Structure 1
């Protein structure tokens, strides 16, 4: 596994999921140029950032690191191979039709722990309930 392999994989998965470099830089709380260096192979993310990115892309860490065979995914640009294509369609990672702020929200949400996700969903529900109550008054 080399820096260039990690960088190439970051670009491939980012593009397949429809994220910009800025979306992922926001999730990692870094400059876009720093994320760009990750993809170009000039630098590599630390392990916690790699774990976070694997969560955002909905893939395993070994797959992100290139330790699983990516050749199946790259043979045909219209498919990711049997396992990965199923994973992408099952979790709706292909989200090109969303607005920029919606994409960013999904990236942040995917980076959260299970407890944080529950808290965010609970808070979103509270906000909607309050707004609906105000509209009825």
Structure 2
């Protein structure tokens, strides 16, 4: 009986780990919603389920010139436009009157003054998308 419970517990844990990630926010780009050190739970979902306004986890673009930097592998930003949406002209005046192409997102940090995001590097390709933030978790005690 105990072996069955252990096996079921392991299967449940494996299922949760495949569908969710626990990520620690790094940097000020998502303030005030999330501060550096906050922990968030991310659910892996298909790219097609991303909606405008959701906070998303994306893989950092690893340009060879930046490989030496000690940066997290993931970044958290807000999706401001998904495939087919009109490009927000306030944040992206150079892309005004266009729509987000298939397989791409436009993302920005909530703290526009301190965020490196789509305003600087353009569209985020679907291959870098990981999932959506579903909740903020309590901070770890120091």
TM-score, length of structure 1 as denominator length: 0.25
TM-score, length of structure 2 as denominator length: 0.24
Higher helix share: 1
